[in-house]
Amino acid sequence: MQLIRGVAGLRGRSPGCAVTIGTYDGIHLGHQALLARVTQHARRLGTKAVLLTFEPTPREYLVPADPPARLTSLRERWRILTPLGLDTLWLLRFGETLRNLCAEDFAQLLVRELAPSVVVVGHDFRFARHGEATAPVAGIFAVQVRGVADRARAGVASLGTRPTIGGTEALLEAHVFDFDGDLYGREIEVEFVARLRDEARFASLDALTAQMERDAADARRILNA
């Protein structure tokens, strides 16, 4: 595992990598599951697995008078992380510049320095200034679905609250093209390939159905399916 410090230290070294972001203090079982997932993605894509972390930790910086106790020092984290399959530990100094990045600027930082293919984070992950941004953008996507057959299958997915039928809870619904089977109880993986459009409210279910058919056609064209 290679240690790289600084904003520009990784530029051009790991394009298309799989990256996970966080403090990773203690490397508990949830951390280990995320690290296993990011290394799996990296091996599948034939690229590098990267952990982006911060020093000092954001909480230490934001509450200097009463910082939370650490479970592990940076040296201890390095020792624990070394056998877990990561290729690179990218260490950024957390200060006013990083703290005040808006969500768009933080995302651009990742794109500029890493150009990642996959970003793996926990369900409660927040980032950017005041934790203003949270994991996925609502919309309709062309996707690849794994876990339904012996290979990835193309599909179209909706991520959002389903406003046309008055939904309030964010849900991910995926339609797998040319597949007939029962997937209830199965664990699958949905890879977002391209965003087709924003989520929208339609005047009727017929209008929604017609748009879903157009979305499926667009996804098939993008995915060559």
Please report, to the nearest 10 degrees, the dihedral formed by the alpha carbons of residues 215, 124, 38, 222 taken in order.
10
- Give 139-223's CATH code, choosing from 3.40.1280.10, 3.30.930.10, 2.40.30.30, 1.10.560.10: 2.40.30.30
- The most distant pair of C-alpha atoms in the chain lies apart, rounded to whole Å, by 59
- In this predicted structure, what is the pLDDT of residue 84? 93
- DSSP classification of residue 6: S
Strands 133-134 and 126-127: antiparallel
- Using alpha carbons, select from 97, 167, 179 the residue that is nearest to residue 143: 179
For range 145-166, the mean pLDDT? 90
The Cα–Cα gap between 200 and 27 comes to 40
CA-only gyration radius of the chain, Å: 20
Q: Which two tokens stand for residue 147?
A: 């876990």
Pairing of strands 49-55, 126-127: unpaired
Q: What is the DSSP string of 52-110?
A: EEEES-HHHHH-TTSPPPPSS-HHHHHHHHGGGT-SEEEEEE-SHHHHT--HHHHHHHH
> Which class is 2-126 in CATH?
alpha beta
Residue 104 has pLDDT above 90, yes or no: no
Q: Given the DSSP bridges, would you call strands 2-5 and 88-93 parallel, antiparallel or unpaired? A: parallel
Q: Percent of the chain beyond pLDDT 90?
A: 45
Given a cut of 90, is residue 14 above it in pLDDT? Answer: no
CA atoms in the 13 A half-sphere facing the CB of 30 = 10
User: Domain residue spans in the chain?
Assistant: 2-126, 139-223
Q: Could you read off the pLDDT of 190-215 as tens digits, one per residue? A: 888 999 999 999 999 999 999 999 99
Residue 147: is its pLDDT beyond 80? yes
Does the structure show a pLDDT above 80 at 124? no
Classify strands 118-120 and 88-93 as parallel, antiparallel or unpaired.
Answer: unpaired
pLDDT of the residue at 157? 96
Share of the chain above pLDDT 70, in %: 100
How far apart (Å, rounded) are the C-alpha atoms in residues 114 and 108?
Answer: 10
Residues 127-145: what's their mean pLDDT?
Answer: 83
Region of poorest pLDDT, from 4-13, 111-120, 183-192: 4-13
